[in-house]
Amino acid sequence: MTKPSNTLSAKVLAALEVYTEESRTAKTHVVRQKNPEFLAGEMQLSNWIRKGGLGADNYGEFLTPYLEHSQHMHHPGFIGHQVAVPHEGASIADMIHGVINNPMAVYEMGPTASVIERVVVNWMLEKCGWFTGAIDGFDANPDNGAGVLTHGGSLANLTAVLAARAQAAPNAWTEGTPHDLAIIAPAATHYSLARAVSIAGFGQNAIRTAPVNDLDVLRPEKLEETFRKACDAGQKVFMVSINACTTATGLYDPIDEVAEFCERHNLWLHVDGAHGASALLSQKERHLMKGMARADSVTWDAHKMLRTSALCAAILFKDQKSMVGTFHQDASYIFYGEDQIGFDVGPYAVECTKSALGAKLFWVLAMEGEQGLAGFVEKSYDNTRKFYELINAQPDFTCPYRPEANILCFKYDGVDDNEAQLALREKILKRGSFYITTAEINGVRYLRLSVMNPLTSVETIEELLAEIRLCAA
Ligand SMILES: Cc1ncc(COP(=O)(O)O)c(C=O)c1O
């Protein structure tokens, strides 16, 4: 019999441990920019596909280049996109699901994962102020909210648009989407919302752009004017979608004030908290989400700020009836016409086959506890403010705003224009010690950091600034 340490799985696990440790201690690069042909050749992709034969004795021929050329997210220099550096617990959950493979849109296909999803969703609802009682009590309390985990925030946003449409136009499912309905959203809204609007049959003309300040934060005092203009044009506004926080800058739209406006006009308020809803966990930072409980729905990605590997997102509703009305499907092989929310999530989600998403977040929670995760959010936000102080104090760098979350924009003043900032990023990526992104605010291109990694320190940022100066020179 093969000894466990000689199995393919055991060897791959050992390689992953080395990979993680080398990344964490910065003994390797963050990313190497190679072209697709080179990578396909290094990994011998067509060879393996045609001939097979990869196993415990030769797995390294594939795995070594695969890991070598991946994005090393555990590296402190990974400060790029808003993707969690996965917690070990989430990785373990991925591994377990990869073995037992219990897709769980229906309870009987994944009973344990279904129960975990419900408990995790109840926990998230509780943080929004939409759930009271024991999170694993399962008593049907009609005053509690409801929600479902989705494969990503984009699907969560789509589900929110469909739920709001079902409320505003209950016949839309059968008769199609009325062409006079309109949604107010700021221009800096994540593109998935605009996609959802067209997928749901509204067309882009249904989006009325909300006025913002020069940092792209919504101006609530101007909403009335936007609303009137839509009415004058014969449109019926039924939904407002705002950002907590905005992808490019990490700045929060004022939920409480927008809720006031929505209540006045009986409009559905959706909060896209894909990145920033995790501030709800922290006593110190939850003021950024003030007014959350007054909204109707929220998108919340665990794979951004809750240390969970991609993907694990949630669409949460204040009123459980909102979720029930979203989809109307007959499928005799899977749906049995339940008239109240049960443990089958299939009727409420876009997906049919669904991964055990909740198990990943559960494992992180089970290892860190909710206080541990709150501490992670606080530390990330605190560190980002420290990095801001450091960068803003440099004579040759400018930050356009003080960060509210863990997203920070700045530019190097030693080069001229937008193109030059982009060129700087290209050079930095080529050298491989840092992964950063860029964003445009008000026509100006900034370098952009998402501080997702607990190991990114003041020293890391000092090294980054030195790298930028070097690249510019
Ligand atoms: C505010 C916001 N909404 C939605 C999304 C899309 O989420 P996902 O990438 O999980 O589909 C993002 C992604 O960055 C985001 O920042």
Over the stretch 76-92, which tens digit does the pLDDT of each residue have? 999 999 999 999 999 99
Residue 335 has pLDDT above 80, yes or no: no
Q: Over the stretch 284-329, which tens digit does the pLDDT of each residue have?
A: 999 999 999 999 999 999 999 999 999 999 999 999 999 888 888 7
Same domain? For 395 and 312 the reply is no
Q: Where are the alpha helices (DSSP H) in 56-190?
A: 59-68, 88-100, 111-128, 153-168, 172-175
From 247, 308, 309, mutation site for ligand 1 pocket: most ligand atoms within 8 A of C-beta: 247
C-alpha 156 to ligand 1 mean position (Å): 9
Residue 425 has pLDDT above 80, yes or no: yes
pLDDT of residue 333: 63
Residue 1 has pLDDT above 60, yes or no: no
C-alpha 133 to ligand 1 mean position (Å): 30
Task: Tell me, using a 6 A CB cutoff, whether residue 243 lines ligand 1.
Answer: yes
Same domain? For 239 and 358 the reply is yes
DSSP letter for 134, please.
-
pTM for this predicted structure? 0.96
Structure token digits, residue 368: 């860190």
Final residue in a domain of this structure, among 364, 389, 424 = 364
444-456 CB burial, b ≥16 within 10 A, e <16: ebbbbbbbbbbeb
From 82, 150, 192, mutation site for ligand 1 pocket: most ligand atoms within 8 A of C-beta: 192
From 275, 300, 301, 350, mutation site for ligand 1 pocket: most ligand atoms within 8 A of C-beta: 301
Task: Tell me, using a 6 A CB cutoff, whether residue 152 lines ligand 1.
Answer: yes
Same domain? For 355 and 282 the reply is yes
Same domain? For 384 and 441 the reply is yes
Mean pLDDT of 201-230: 97
Would residue 76 count as lying in a domain? Answer: no
C-alpha 189 to ligand 1 mean position (Å): 10
Return the residue whose CA atom lies nearest to atom 4 of ligand 1: 153
**Rounded distance between C-alpha atoms, residue 217 and residue 123, angstroms:** 29
- Residue 154 alpha carbon, nearest atom of ligand 1: 11
Same domain? For 354 and 392 the reply is no
Work out the percent of the chain whose per-residue pLDDT is above 90.
90
Q: Which of 140-144, 300-304, 396-400 has the lowest mean pLDDT?
A: 140-144
Mean pLDDT of 98-102: 95
Mean pLDDT of 120-142: 94
Task: Tell me, using a 6 A CB cutoff, whether residue 313 lines ligand 1.
Answer: yes
Structure token digits, residue 9: 């799985």
- Residue 245 alpha carbon, nearest atom of ligand 1: 1
Domain extent at residue 195: 98-364
Same domain? For 310 and 395 the reply is no
pLDDT of residue 328: 82
How many other C-beta atoms lie within 10 A of the C-beta of residue 90?
25
Same domain? For 429 and 390 the reply is yes
Q: What stretch of H or E contains 430? A: helix 418-431
Task: Tell me, using a 6 A CB cutoff, whether residue 189 lines ligand 1.
Answer: no
pLDDT band at 416 (very low <50, low <70, confident <90, very high): confident
CB-based contact 12:6 (threshold 8 Å): no
Same domain? For 339 and 395 the reply is no
**Largest interatomic CA distance in the chain:** 78
pLDDT of residue 324: 86
CATH code of 135's domain: 3.40.640.10
pLDDT of residue 463: 97
Task: Tell me, using a 6 A CB cutoff, whether residue 122 lines ligand 1.
Answer: no
Work out the percent of the chain whose per-residue pLDDT is above 70.
97
- The domain tally of the chain equals 3
Task: Tell me, using a 6 A CB cutoff, whether residue 441 lines ligand 1.
Answer: no
- Residue 301 alpha carbon, nearest atom of ligand 1: 10
Mean pLDDT of 171-198: 96
Structure token digits, residue 150: 């989705």
Strands 181-186 and 207-210: parallel
Residue 332 has pLDDT above 80, yes or no: no
Residue 2 has pLDDT above 80, yes or no: no
Mean pLDDT of 456-472: 97
Would residue 235 count as lying in a domain? Answer: yes
pLDDT of residue 447: 97
C-alpha 273 to ligand 1 mean position (Å): 9
Residue 50 has pLDDT above 70, yes or no: yes
C-alpha 226 to ligand 1 mean position (Å): 25
Mean pLDDT of the chain: 95
C-alpha 151 to ligand 1 mean position (Å): 11
pLDDT band at 340 (very low <50, low <70, confident <90, very high): low
pLDDT band at 331 (very low <50, low <70, confident <90, very high): low
Would residue 255 count as lying in a domain? Answer: yes
Please provide the DSSP assignment of 441-461 as one string. Answer: ETTEEEEEEE---TT--HHHH
Using DSSP, state whether 147 is helix, strand or coil: strand
Strand partners, 437: 448
Mean pLDDT of 89-103: 96
Would residue 82 count as lying in a domain? Answer: no
